[in-house]
């Protein structure tokens, strides 16, 4: 097999691996975002997350992994859209941002 064909097959295999790994990471992120929204009584809008950025980063053990930043929209009242973000390192959620949230008077602790 000529080197050009072998190189093309290796490249195609790498792209296929990246695509499948990105789909799995997206599903893991969506699961974590759904749970975070449910715990805070928020509604995840459109039931989806979108990749905002992808880059390489090192984990705590020093291994190089893909870090993916996802964006999503949620609502706290049902009448608005707020933007949130989540960061995965590999398939592990390392950060989630739900931004500032308005709190009703009934939720405030009374001393």
- 1-25 pLDDT per residue, tens: 788 898 999 999 999 999 999 999 9
Residue 27: both structure tokens together? 């599903």
Contact by Cβ (8 Å): 78, 48: no
Report how far residue 52's alpha carbon sits from residue 73's, in angstroms, rounded to the nearest whole number: 13
Q: Mean pLDDT of all residues in the chain?
A: 88
Query: Which one has a higher pLDDT value, 22 or 99?
Result: 22
The residue-averaged pLDDT of 25-34 equals 94
Residue 93: both structure tokens together? 């959620």
* Other beta carbons less than 10 A from residue 7's beta carbon: 10
Contact by Cβ (8 Å): 52, 71: yes
Flag whether pLDDT at 57 surpasses 80.
yes
Flag whether pLDDT at 99 surpasses 90.
no
CA 96 from centre of chain = 8
3-class state of residue 91 by DSSP: coil
């Amino acid at each position: 097999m000529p080197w050009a064909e072998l190189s093309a097959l290796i490249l195609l295999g790498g792209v296929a691996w990246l695509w499948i790994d990105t789909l799995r990471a997206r599903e893991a992120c969506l699961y974590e975002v759904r749970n975070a929204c449910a715990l805070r009584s928020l509604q995840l809008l459109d039931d989806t997350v979108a990749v905002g950025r992808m880059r390489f980063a090192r984990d705590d053990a020093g291994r190089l992994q893909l870090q993916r930043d996802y964006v999503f929209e949620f609502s706290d009242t049902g009448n608005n859209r707020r933007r949130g973000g989540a960061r995965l390192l590999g398939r592990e959620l390392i950060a989630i941002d739900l931004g500032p949230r308005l709190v009703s008077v009934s939720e405030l602790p009374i001393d």
